[in-house]
């Protein structure tokens, strides 16, 4: 999971998003369900 998470962070950090709240919201809504579906 760590490798996948780091790759996701690397791709996500390229986006011009400065709002930390939106970043957390995106991870909680988009990343976790996607990870579960990839199990």
Residue 36 has pLDDT above 70, yes or no: no
Residue 35 has pLDDT above 60, yes or no: no
- Per-residue model confidence (pLDDT) at position 17: 54
Mean pLDDT of 11-35: 61
Residue 7 has pLDDT above 70, yes or no: yes
Residues with Cβ within 8 Å of residue 35, at least 6 apart in sequence: 1, 4
Question: Which stretches of the chain are DSSP H helices?
Answer: 2-12, 20-26, 32-38
Q: Rounded distance, CA 31 to CA 34, Å?
A: 5
Residue 11 has pLDDT above 70, yes or no: yes
Retrieve residue 2's tokens: 């760590």
């Amino acid at each position: 999971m760590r490798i996948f998470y780091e790759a996701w962070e690397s791709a996500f950090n390229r986006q011009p998003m400065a709002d930390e709240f939106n970043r957390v919201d995106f991870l909680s809504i988009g990343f976790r369900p996607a990870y579960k579906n990839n199990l």
